[in-house]
């Protein structure tokens, strides 16, 4: 177009568009928002993990001066006869409906104009329960006669779950299977068979901005201001819940104080909307830090993995059985079960693969998506398993991987060919940083050193859609209308760079309109590393559409092609004054082929592959089990880094988060009760925990199907980090840990058990 040419936008580390707002305390979050006439809601929660509710007495609470109303599910049912919600299953009542399924489940809400009064009134509510036996462990629940739900209720929005409808007598919400080749035969003729069982713990996202929703429902329309990663989904689900058309539900999302997968699909929105519908006033609920642990968590899992290996180190078959502890409500657990299931044999070229992945209901807080969608849990198992096999066979762990690594053009377990995935290159880069080919001194005496590496990959949720609008105003300035949520990953900035690149406009001058479903078009959600690839492509298409319309306008005005007239001048010429718009639209849905339900086979399982490799060097005190990570390396294939600084911060930040999940973070339960729901007892990484020598880099890569070669970056470094640390510890102490988190105590116990075995 004819505006003054500017520098290239792609590949530049321009600061975030909202940087100034964030350093001056002016950035907009729902956290601060208040509306006239607004009531605060405080949630009364179950103290029982599994029980029938015999009686709820709210009279004393309702009588407290300043309390507007105390609400139970019976009140909600007067306006919403079936107040159940959820993305995969409609299994979650907005407030407990006759039964509680985990300790911490919402049972009643106190509404008051004064938050403190609402909080005080909570202590006056009395509930009588009839306690039921609980199931907390996924392995126990998979075969238990104690049932969390009587019947499975899949949501209509997920057509592939319909066969589960009405299934009774089980805690298994979904059984995913993949079959490739003849696993039985391969095991029967194997030189070696290795089998191990690994477990990961329950952890939580801990966004610094706790979950918050403000709903204003009146006269047949609803407006929600919510800290959500998926405004379009919230609108669809709230419209379904209310039985209204989508155009009567408006969902607005400003900046998010962190999401990490927690604020996906539908969370507080269902309850808060129901409350506002009931009392006809705006209602806001902000959770406390402790309450966040009862909203959503990451699945603990048990993974039994078995491999058939030839004497020269080729894996011929692998059998994976994964049980996901989904807690009391399915949330997006069934999708985690499928998506992490299909890559759970790891990034290896194996002819015979069998995978069974089970979503299991238990009486724990619900589990959903968390940065990696299950991939980090499965990689913990398959990558520790790789090192354990290498050790048994006397092979170098990197060499053993290289003999089996999945290369571009070869079929992954689903049958989908790997493409544009730098798995081996990532491993090579990690090895260089660890000087892997050099002799290594493990040290002697009390302090022992070790090093380890791991690789991993993930498929991306598919098929999903993004729609974008580019609007050039009468003066030629540009705005981008997208429903991607900027929760810190920098999507506003990168999307502006993509639009700016096409239209030759300085990215920092582009206004990005934040999600508002009355204004911004559909997007499936800001999740699973999909935004750069999906929304980025939609934005590129929208900008190209606008560019084509500018050329059309040029022709309509009888101007020679490539005339120097600016958009503003052309519009002025057309309308006779500063008026009009040029609007470009774009929408994108990648190719996808539904997997065969019996075998999981498909030619197109994922739009692209997320790839990460990690390496670690540790020092362990053999007397105490204390360990220090001396060096930590993450290498990811992110395609072309569209904004190198933002990519690096993403890789590094995700890595530190995963380091917390590896070493300190663990939701501890006793008899179904969470015992450490606070930052005092549940430790997330601080500046002191970050390894001093911490390296994050991208491979020199390019995904030709992504916008300007880019693809997702938000999860890649979460996948291989835990097993890299685990393998380094094993290298130092000579024995493998099977469970996360790795703590001085678990390391000490492992050292002791090895010593005891040696003595015996």
Partner 1 sequence: MSTQRLIEFTLNGDAMQAVVSTKDTLIDLLSDKLDLRGARESCGQGLCGCCTVYVDEKPVSGCLTLAWFADGCSIRTIEGLAQGDKLDPVQEAFIEAGAFQCGFCTSGFILMTKKLLEEHPDPSEDQIRHYLIGNLCRCSAYPEIITAVQLASKKMR
Q: What angle do CA 163, 168, 169 make, to 5 degrees?
A: 135
Structural tokens at position 488: 């810190």
Q: What angle do CA 28, 108, 77 make, to 5 degrees?
A: 100
Reference 180, options 381, 348, 409; nearest CA is: 348
**Between 156 and 668, CB nearer to partner 1:** 668
The only residue of 77, 113, 193, 257 in contact with partner 1, by rule CB under 8 A: 257
In this chain, which stretch among 181-189, 385-393, 440-448, 678-686 interacts with partner 1, using CB under 8 A? 678-686
What's the min distance (Å) between Cβ of 297 and partner 1? Answer: 15
What's the min distance (Å) between Cβ of 477 and partner 1? Answer: 21
What is the C-alpha to C-alpha distance for residues 100 and 131, in angstroms, rounded to an integer?
9
Q: What angle do CA 352, 424, 531 make, to 5 degrees?
A: 90
Mask: binding to partner 1, 111-150, rule CB under 8 A, as x and -? -----x----------------------------------
Q: Is 80 left (phi over 0), alpha (psi -120 to 50) or beta?
A: beta
What's the min distance (Å) between Cβ of 664 and partner 1? Answer: 12
In this chain, which stretch among 84-92, 277-285, 511-519, 651-659 interacts with partner 1, using CB under 8 A? 651-659
Q: What's the Rg (C-alpha) of the chain?
A: 27
**Between 115 and 240, CB nearer to partner 1:** 115
What is the C-alpha to C-alpha distance for residues 119 and 526, in angstroms, rounded to an integer?
33
What is the C-alpha to C-alpha distance for residues 508 and 328, in angstroms, rounded to an integer?
45
What is the C-alpha to C-alpha distance for residues 644 and 13, in angstroms, rounded to an integer?
6
**C-alpha to C-alpha distances, 306 to 31, 381, 738, nearest whole angstrom:** 48, 11, 14
The residue whose two tokens read 């900046």 is 255
3-state secondary structure of 378: helix
**Between 258 and 744, CB nearer to partner 1:** 258
In this chain, which stretch among 391-399, 508-516, 633-641, 690-698 interacts with partner 1, using CB under 8 A? 690-698
**Is residue 496 at the binding interface for partner 1, with CB under 8 A as the rule?**
no
What's the min distance (Å) between Cβ of 99 and partner 1? Answer: 30
What is the C-alpha to C-alpha distance for residues 123 and 496, in angstroms, rounded to an integer?
49
Mask: binding to partner 1, 32-51, rule CB under 8 A, as x and -? x-x-----------------
Please give the size of the binding site for partner 1, defined by CB under 8 A: 58
3-state secondary structure of 324: strand
What's the min distance (Å) between Cβ of 373 and partner 1? Answer: 18
Q: Is 628 left (phi over 0), alpha (psi -120 to 50) or beta?
A: beta
What's the min distance (Å) between Cβ of 532 and partner 1? Answer: 15
**Between 207 and 346, CB nearer to partner 1:** 207
In this chain, which stretch among 19-27, 516-524, 554-562, 581-589 interacts with partner 1, using CB under 8 A? 19-27
Peptide bond into 741 cis (omega under 30): yes
What's the min distance (Å) between Cβ of 492 and partner 1? Answer: 12
The only residue of 403, 511, 645, 749 in contact with partner 1, by rule CB under 8 A: 645
Judge contact between 733 and 758, C-beta under 8 A: no
What's the min distance (Å) between Cβ of 691 and partner 1? Answer: 10
Distance, CA of 708 to chain centre: 24
What's the min distance (Å) between Cβ of 268 and partner 1? Answer: 16
The only residue of 688, 757, 758, 760 in contact with partner 1, by rule CB under 8 A: 688
In this chain, which stretch among 15-23, 329-337, 408-416, 751-759 interacts with partner 1, using CB under 8 A? 15-23
Q: Please state the length of the chain.
A: 760
What's the min distance (Å) between Cβ of 286 and partner 1? Answer: 9
**Between 210 and 334, CB nearer to partner 1:** 210
Structural tokens at position 64: 């407290």
**Between 631 and 645, CB nearer to partner 1:** 645
Mask: binding to partner 1, 731-760, rule CB under 8 A, as x and -? ------------------------------
Interior/surface letters 694-728, b for 16+ CB within 10 angstroms, e for the rest? ebbbbbebebeebbbbbbbbbbbbbbbbbbbbbbb
**Is residue 255 at the binding interface for partner 1, with CB under 8 A as the rule?**
yes
**Between 258 and 443, CB nearer to partner 1:** 258
φ, ψ (nearest 5 deg) of residue 176: -95, 140
Reference 191, options 306, 311, 305; nearest CA is: 311
The only residue of 17, 80, 206, 640 in contact with partner 1, by rule CB under 8 A: 206
The only residue of 300, 372, 528, 685 in contact with partner 1, by rule CB under 8 A: 685
**Between 289 and 513, CB nearer to partner 1:** 289
Q: Is 86 left (phi over 0), alpha (psi -120 to 50) or beta?
A: left
The only residue of 7, 8, 21, 475 in contact with partner 1, by rule CB under 8 A: 21
Reference 39, options 94, 118, 95; nearest CA is: 118
In this chain, which stretch among 205-213, 244-252, 399-407, 514-522 interacts with partner 1, using CB under 8 A? 205-213
Distance, CA of 715 to chain centre: 8
**Is residue 18 at the binding interface for partner 1, with CB under 8 A as the rule?**
yes
The only residue of 73, 487, 667, 728 in contact with partner 1, by rule CB under 8 A: 487
The only residue of 26, 444, 670, 757 in contact with partner 1, by rule CB under 8 A: 26
What is the C-alpha to C-alpha distance for residues 623 and 748, in angstroms, rounded to an integer?
7
The only residue of 656, 667, 729, 733 in contact with partner 1, by rule CB under 8 A: 656
The only residue of 142, 684, 737, 747 in contact with partner 1, by rule CB under 8 A: 684
Q: What angle do CA 584, 589, 595 make, to 5 degrees?
A: 175
Contacts with partner 1 by CB under 8 A lie at: 13, 15-16, 18-29, 31-32, 34, 116, 205-210, 255-260, 288-289, 487-490, 645-646, 649-650, 652-657, 678-680, 684-688, 690, 692, 694
């Amino acid at each position: 177009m004819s505006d003054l040419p500017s520098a290239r936008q792609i590949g530049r580390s321009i600061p975030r568009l909202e940087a100034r707002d964030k350093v001056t305390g002016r950035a907009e979050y729902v956290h601060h928002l208040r509306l006239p006439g607004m009531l605060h809601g405080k949630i009364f929660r179950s103290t029982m993990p599994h029980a029938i509710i015999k009686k709820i007495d709210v009279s004393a609470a309702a009588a407290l001066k300043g309390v507007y109303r105390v609400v139970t599910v019976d009140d909600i049912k007067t306006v919403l006869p079936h107040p159940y919600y959820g993305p995969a299953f409609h299994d979650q009542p907005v407030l407990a409906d006759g039964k509680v399924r985990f300790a911490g489940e919402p049972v009643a809400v106190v509404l008051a104009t004064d938050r403190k009064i609402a909080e005080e009134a909570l202590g006056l509510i009395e509930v009588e329960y009839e306690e039921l036996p609980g199931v907390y462990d996924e392995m126990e629940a998979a075969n238990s006669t104690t049932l969390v739900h009587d019947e499975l209720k899949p949501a209509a929005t997920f057509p592939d779950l319909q066969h589960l409808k009405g299934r009774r007598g089980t805690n298994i919400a979904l059984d995913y299977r993949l079959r490739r080749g003849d696993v039985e035969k391969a095991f029967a003729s194997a030189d070696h068979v290795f089998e191990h069982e690994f477990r990961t713990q329950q952890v939580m996202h801990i966004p610094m901005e706790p979950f918050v929703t403000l709903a204003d429902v009146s006269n047949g329309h609803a407006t929600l201001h919510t800290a959500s990663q998926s405004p379009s989904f919230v609108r669809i689900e709230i419209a379904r819940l209310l039985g209204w058309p989508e155009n009567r539900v408006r969902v607005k999302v400003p900046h998010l104080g962190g999401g990490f997968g927690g604020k996906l699909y539908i969370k507080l929105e269902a309850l808060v909307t129901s409350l506002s519908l009931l009392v006809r006033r705006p209602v806001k609920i902000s959770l406390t830090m402790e309450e966040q642990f009862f909203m959503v968590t990451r699945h603990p899992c048990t993974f039994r993995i078995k491999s058939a290996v030839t004497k020269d180190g080729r894996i011929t078959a692998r059998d994976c059985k994964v049980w996901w502890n989904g807690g009391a409500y399915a949330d997006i657990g069934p999708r985690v079960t499928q998506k992490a299931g299909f890559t759970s044999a790891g990034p290896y070229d194996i002819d015979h693969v069998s995978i069974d992945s089970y979503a299991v209901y238990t009486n724990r807080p619900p589990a959903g998506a968390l940065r990696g969608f299950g991939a980090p849990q499965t990689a913990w198992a398959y990558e520790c398993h790789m090192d354990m096999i290498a050790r048994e066979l006397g092979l170098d762990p990197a060499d053993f991987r290289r003999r089996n690594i999945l290369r571009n053009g070869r079929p992954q377990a689903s049958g989908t060919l790997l493409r544009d995935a730098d798995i081996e290159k990532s491993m090579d880069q990690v090895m260089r940083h660890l000087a892997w080919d050099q002799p290594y001194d493990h040290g002697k005496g009390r302090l022992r050193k070790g090093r380890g590496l791991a690789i991993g990959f993930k498929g991306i949720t598919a098929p999903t859609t993004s729609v974008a609008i580019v609007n050039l105003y009468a003066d030629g300035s540009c705005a981008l209308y997208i429903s991607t949520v900027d929760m810190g990953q920098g999507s506003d900035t990168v999307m502006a760079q993509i639009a700016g690149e096409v239209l030759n406009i300085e990215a920092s001058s582009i206004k990005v309109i934040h999600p508002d479903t009355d204004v911004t078009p559909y997007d499936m959600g800001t999740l699973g590393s999909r935004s750069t690839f999906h929304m980025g492509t939609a934005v590129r298409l929208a900008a190209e559409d606008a560019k084509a319309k500018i050329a059309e306008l040029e022709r309509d005005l009888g101007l020679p092609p490539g005339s120097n007239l600016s958009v503003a001048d052309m519009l002025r010429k057309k309308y006779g004054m500063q008026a009009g718009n040029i609007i470009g639209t774009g929408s994108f849905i990648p190719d996808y082929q539904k997997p065969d339900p019996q075998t999981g086979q498909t030619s197109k399982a994922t739009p692209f592959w997320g790839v990460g490799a990690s390496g670690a060097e540790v020092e362990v005190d053999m007397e105490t089990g204390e360990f220090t990570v001396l060096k930590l390396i993450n290498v990811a294939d992110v395609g072309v880094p569209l904004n190198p600084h933002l990519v690096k911060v993403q890789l590094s930040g995700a890595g530190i988060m995963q380091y917390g999940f590896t070493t300190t973070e663990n939701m501890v339960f006793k008899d179904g009760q969470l015992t450490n729901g606070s930052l005092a007892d549940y430790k997330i990484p601080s500046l002191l925990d970050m390894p001093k020598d911490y390296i994050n880099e991208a491979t020199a890569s390019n995904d030709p199907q992504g916008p300007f070669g880019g693809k997702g970056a938000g999860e890649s470094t979460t996948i291989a980090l835990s097993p890299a640390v685990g393998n380094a510890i094993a290298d130092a102490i000579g024995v493998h840990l099977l469970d996360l988190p790795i703590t001085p105590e678990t390391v000490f116990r492992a050292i002791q058990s090895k010593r005891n075995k040696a003595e015996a």
